[in-house]
Chain A
């Protein structure tokens, strides 16, 4: 992120940030002529967003959603990675996992999982985590099996010539080679998870941002609906920039 110095650098930034300012201006002008139920002013939305920081009750909801996201992403990576490993190392199961299970999971609509999750687990943390994990598993499965397919067979052969200990091979060879794909899977799952967190919590929880948004929608509090959506955008961007992108850089193979 170099600071813009040259004029040729400045113009794209001016255009990009100009658009943001323009949208805010149009929004502000439009909001003056429209009832707040339809379009709240940017200021009202900003106030609603700041409530998320100052109001302890809203803060608890943010934390609840964040924790569920982390747990679901972790669970989905383990489950998706496990399935990918199984398909890779047990060829007889490959067709079942990659040609039957994966398309089925990939084609399942998230709302379908949401409703089933609530039917099976009632309204609870378990329901939300189940729903989110189920939605995320195919993303992790696809990414990690892609990584497994691209493992260098010569490297694996070399490893095998050094040791027959499978766990040692996995820890010192497979896992580091796979790390970029696992991190990519985690990043993708993390991004998807924030977006579907609202769906899963609308159905499956009585805390969290999805619940907050649902309550806001019930009383036609448009500024809260917008604020919740924007808080999610902010939280997603923050987590990606502060945790996942540095991790991805760490896991990237050294330039050869």
Chain B
């Protein structure tokens, strides 16, 4: 955070070192790639060429879209389910132990491959398997995040709401939900980051489309450059979407609520 505001010489020098270090890493990679066969370490030009293919070849580009679709379907399902469970635990204290003492820890310690393998056996090799596996993996993230949000809900505000109306629905939509939005968004942001990464696992084993499927094909033909390219796409989309879409949206959302408070 401070790196952006400070214009001190140290910051500029650190920036320069950061840039130089990245350049050096790429140069080193290039040097190494010249000395070893390309299936061990394909050089930057070869990987760039493969990356370009993703932009020009619709057969490849469609897999990027498929992965995004898997993630964009799974994240809302997980956030809604997770919010539901967290709200249940919050509003009916008897279920607190059930949700946070049984369901969440279980989901949290079940491995992504486990869900994928089970989904393959239950559903088969298709997009539903992938969406199911991703949803199951990111569900505990939503439960925990929304729980934190509910715990910080202003007790006095809730009481005021109670004094105005006893209808649960009005209270929920007018008070609880707006107060929860920033936490829901945090849940969405974290979930998206995780989902985007585990989509690769789920698609590799259980999918018939998506970037994981491309990796699976590339792995069978020892096309390491293609694998590098897919990893580069995943990393790029993860960083870009977080920096330029999710983080600004979240900042705007919390600013809006900060203003409402003040």
Residues of A within 8 A of B (CB): 11-13, 15-20, 37-39, 91-96, 99-100, 103-104, 106-112, 115-116, 119-120, 191, 194-199, 202, 210, 213, 217, 220, 222, 225-226, 228-229, 232-233, 236-237
Give complex CA distance A91, B94 in Å: 51
Interface residues of B in 101-123 (CB under 8 A from A): 101-103, 105-106, 108-114, 117-118, 120-122
Contact of A228 among B15, B114, B204 (CB under 8 A): B114
- State whether A195 touches B231 (Cβ < 8 A): no
- State whether A12 touches B96 (Cβ < 8 A): yes
Contact of B14 among A93, A202, A213, A229 (CB under 8 A): A93
- State whether B201 touches A110 (Cβ < 8 A): yes
Interface presence of B200 (CB below 8 A): yes
Interface residues of B in 18-55 (CB under 8 A from A): 18, 21-22, 39-40
* Known A-B contacts A109-B201, A112-B227, A119-B40; A91 and B10 likewise in contact (beta carbons under 8 Å): yes
Majority secondary structure of chain A interface residues (helix, strand, loop or mixed): helix
- State whether A199 touches B95 (Cβ < 8 A): no
Q: Which residues of chain A have C-beta atoms less than 8 A from B97's C-beta?
A: 12-13, 15-16
- State whether A99 touches B3 (Cβ < 8 A): yes
- State whether A12 touches B98 (Cβ < 8 A): yes
Identify 9 new A-B residue pairs, CB closer than 8 A, beyond the known A19-B102, A107-B239, A109-B197: A95-B3, A95-B15, A99-B18, A104-B239, A106-B193, A110-B198, A119-B39, A191-B109, A199-B201
Q: Which residues of chain A have C-beta atoms less than 8 A from B106's C-beta?
A: 233
A-B contact pairs, 6 of them (CB 8 A): A18-B98, A96-B14, A119-B39, A119-B224, A191-B108, A225-B114
Residues of B within 8 A of A (CB): 3, 10-11, 13-15, 17-18, 21-22, 39-40, 93-98, 101-103, 105-106, 108-114, 117-118, 120-122, 193, 196-198, 200-201, 204, 212, 215, 219, 224, 227, 230-231, 234-235, 238-239
**Chain A residue at minimum C-beta to C-beta distance from B24:** A96
Q: B32 CB to closest chain A CB, in angstroms?
A: 11
Q: Which residues of chain A have C-beta atoms less than 8 A from B95's C-beta?
A: 12, 15-16
Q: Which residues of chain B have C-beta atoms less than 8 A from A18's C-beta?
A: 98
- State whether A194 touches B109 (Cβ < 8 A): yes
